[in-house]
Amino acid sequence: MLPVDLPGTVRDALLAPLVDHHCHGVRRDDLSRAQFELLSGEGGSPAPPGTTHFDTPFGAAVRRWCAPLLDLEPHAPPAVYLARRTELGAGEVNRRLLTGAGVVAFLVDATPDTHPDTHPDNHTATYGTAHTATYGTTHTTAQTATYGTTHTDGRLAPFGGAHADGHIAPFGGAHADGHIAPHGPAHATASGAGHADLFGDAHAAIRAARHADPDADHADPHAAPRTDPRADSRTDPRADPRADSRAGFAADLDVLTAAEMGRHGGAAADELVRIEHIEQDVAATAELAVDYLDNLADELAARAARAVGLKTVIGARCGLDFDPARPSRGAVIAAANRRLSDPKGVLTDHVLLRYLLWSAIDVARERGLPVQFHTGFGGRTGEPHRADPARLSAFAAALQPLGVPVILLHCYPYHRQAAHLAGVFPHVYVDVGLAPPHGTAAAARVMDELLELAPFHKQLFSSGCRGLAETGYLGALTYRRALAAALGARIEAGEWSASDAARVAHMIGSGNARRIYRL
């Protein structure tokens, strides 16, 4: 799995269980190709006609690294991969991939996917009719026997030992209560690297897929399948271009909860609370501005009591260059009255967004919680440059006396600016979240550049997992590979000792998150 030869202590540190300090639930239901492709991109839009999201860095990584965990050879064609995914079922796929990520604790943004903040500033229905007709029906003719040998219980064990209940322990040792030991033994065979001998001959599956579509040999092997005009929409809802539209946005509710993420991944799980979601709920029920303000304070406190951290997407709503001062009481009441005239709309009023944020800061300070800020890459915003975390400098300075930890999520392509802030302010922390799995070719460079400036005790790991279990698995895999390359280069150059590199890997992978979130 790791791209370089490293001392054993460093390898063990990189393969040790991670704390994924920011992720979302994954879908519990079987997905059509249209749904899978839309969830595989951060923009939430279909690929242009005649193309596919499998022709992206993320799509290539799915075929290379996720295919072996589904008993396929690396680089399996998209149609074969999706057929096998359907054959196994969402529950088994989620279990294999989330367990394979080797995570000991998931911190989950539990905001329902129907909420408009789920993809910042992307408020359209996810699976509209116009998208479905592009992809049509996925055939599932490949059979289990095609894929060769698995373990005796019929499941892959990517990292070794199993729990007493039969669930796989990603990295070995487990506590008596079924939780994974934080630093149990790890195996170099993780993540499917070098496992081609386990997965048999996938060519039969490819032939099966081609048999289902006799023109497959002459088509783009990565392109989405055409709609079959012979399909009977009365018996196969996937053949009906209206089917996904009817499911529409409501289908996004079908995601794993934080607790279910933990059970599927063989890990502990805690919740992160998105403050804009709380505001939306309060606005929908309040009748007067005074009620709105009182209820907002009460709800923030109540939900924070059950969480390990708070999160905001204010950057997507008004940019990170907002006025850092607390708004006046009069301005807030006037803005609240405006808000209650349209309580179902997305909150974009700068005064209320600032008031909400400062209210959350007060709660975080009282309860000793960190506050996560979505920055940089991820979602679809109208002005991407306003997601540059450097624009938070004034606000970060205003928070310094309060001591509330500020966590900058994702950051790419502004990770150097984020690293600078983490070095300047004692309460600012940083990760590069979504960058490694969605920009695999640049992952090692991004991690190397983060290590240039950011103190090692200020860096965290997150997968940014959302919708597809593949995002969680690839987030962990590409992070480990990227950090391995960066550490290997420093060891080879004589800049760091092996013990230094191992200590940094432990800090970034889990130690820093345990300290900041008090896990």
The DSSP-derived string for 127-172 is: T-HHHHHHH-PPP----GGGG----TTSS--SSS-B-TTSPBPTTS
Q: Can you name the residues that pair with 174 across neighbouring β-strands? A: 180
Tokens standing for 26?
């994954």
| pLDDT the model gives residue 378 | 63
| pLDDT the model gives residue 41 | 78
Distance CA 501, CA 483 (A): 10
Outline where DSSP puts E strands in 379-485: 406-410, 428-430
Distance CA 324, CA 314 (A): 12
| pLDDT the model gives residue 251 | 39
Contact at 8 Å (CB) between 264 and 114?
Answer: no
Give the Cβ contact number of residue 149 at 10 Å: 10
248: left (phi over 0), alpha (psi -120 to 50) or beta: left
Among candidate residues 432, 450, 363, 439, the one with its CA nearest the CA of residue 402: 363
**H or E element in which residue 350 lies:** helix 350-367
DSSP string, 33-58: HHHHHHHHSTT--PPPTT--TTSSHH
Contact at 8 Å (CB) between 258 and 270?
Answer: yes
Q: What is the pTM of this model?
A: 0.75
| pLDDT the model gives residue 371 | 98
Give the Cβ contact number of residue 477 at 10 Å: 28
| pLDDT the model gives residue 218 | 36
| pLDDT the model gives residue 131 | 33
Distance CA 233, CA 412 (A): 43
Distance CA 231, CA 440 (A): 38
| pLDDT the model gives residue 356 | 98
- Cα-flanking dihedrals φ and ψ of residue 23, to 5°? -150, 175
- Cα-flanking dihedrals φ and ψ of residue 101, to 5°? -65, -25
| pLDDT the model gives residue 162 | 35
Calculate Rg over the CA atoms of the chain: 23
Contact at 8 Å (CB) between 346 and 285?
Answer: no
At residue 276, what is the residue type? E
Please give the chain's pLDDT, 519 residues, in tens: 888 899 999 999 999 999 999 999 999 999 999 999 999 877 778 999 999 999 999 999 999 999 999 999 999 999 999 999 999 999 999 999 999 999 999 999 988 755 444 443 343 333 233 333 333 333 333 333 333 333 333 333 333 333 333 333 333 333 333 333 333 333 333 333 333 333 333 333 333 433 333 333 334 444 444 333 333 333 333 333 323 332 333 334 589 999 999 999 999 999 999 999 999 999 999 999 999 999 999 999 999 999 999 999 999 899 899 999 999 999 999 999 999 999 999 999 999 999 999 999 999 999 999 999 999 876 555 677 888 898 999 999 999 999 999 999 988 888 889 999 999 999 999 998 877 777 777 788 888 999 999 999 999 999 999 999 999 999 999 999 999 999 999 999 999 999 999 999 999 999 999 999 999
Contact at 8 Å (CB) between 268 and 179?
Answer: yes
